[in-house]
Amino acid sequence: LIMEPGVATSMLSCPTVPLSNGLQIPILGLGTSHQGGYSHEAVVYALRDCGVRHVDTAKRYDCEERLASAVAESGVPRRDLWLTSKLWPGDYGHSSARQACRASCDRLGVEYLDLYLMHWPDAMVPGRSSREVRAETWRALEQLYDEGRCRAIGVSNFLIHHLEELKDDCGVVPHVNQVEYHPFQQPDDLMSYCRQEGIVFEGYCPLAKGQALSHPVVLGLADKYGRTPAQVCIRWSIQNGVVTIPKSTKPIRIMENCQVFGFSLMDEDMHSIKTLHSDRKIIHLTFPLWRA
């Protein structure tokens, strides 16, 4: 594992991507999740020792209160952090969405969120269309945005037709769309649409839950550049202009994932990874969970 000198300094100067409202989101962040995807020690280490300033969470992950504790222990001022959380479909609807946002802020110990996302497009509300519920919910997020409770608002796992409907039904175009993105899952049409509409494309699961790390193409590039397979995958993602949020509960892996600004992949190597697309999805959510 290559250890670059001054890694914290390099992360503090992490490149940013402009949102349509003028805010700048760090292109690399730390993801969290449920099912063993949270570690207090790792988050403190990421913030304090690796210079990470962008953290992504959600109500569904059930770690917002623990994240607040880690942020406090890190000593990083709130103004220096980019905090994203997500609204679970069980809280869709106008009043419930507003209440859920306030509750997330309370659990995180903050007055505002830098980014608040609708977690999934399917609302699963009996007797009502998902489109109708999405529009009602999005209007609540627009209010939260106008009030300053959320500095930016967006969506997650939305496809082009979902975004088109939202554009027709509401006023504010989402600032961000966060979707699965890795060498095996490259939704080029969705990426092109988002960029055309001024929606920042954000990718989760950049290592394909580790499945990309053993692919011969990735291994070959890791050897060529003297980097790890994870660093190659993350570098490829951010070099494509994608806001990228790898997850890990291991401090050494978090350090590794942050060390991706000291090298660049050549055009032919970027293309080699592009050819790995097979429309393989790693994240599968069953419908009963969507009601949770």
34 appears as a binding residue in the annotation: no
The pairing of strands 54-56 and 30-31 is parallel
| Angstrom distance (rounded) from CA 59 to CA 42 | 19
Report the phi/psi class of residue 145: left, alpha or beta, with left for phi > 0 and alpha for psi in -120 to 50.
alpha
> What separation in angstroms does the CA of 79 have from each of 23, 54, 98, 110?
13, 11, 23, 10
Q: What residues contact residue 233 under an 8 Å CB cut-off, 6+ apart?
A: 182, 183, 206, 207, 208, 212, 213, 218, 273
Cβ-contact 97, 68 below 8 angstroms = no
Catalytic residues: 61
| Angstrom distance (rounded) from CA 176 to CA 200 | 5
As to burial, measured by CB atoms within 10 angstroms (0-12 exposed, 13-18 middle, 19+ buried), residue 34 is exposed
Place of tokens 């109708």: 132
Annotated binding site: 119
Annotated binding site for substrate: 119
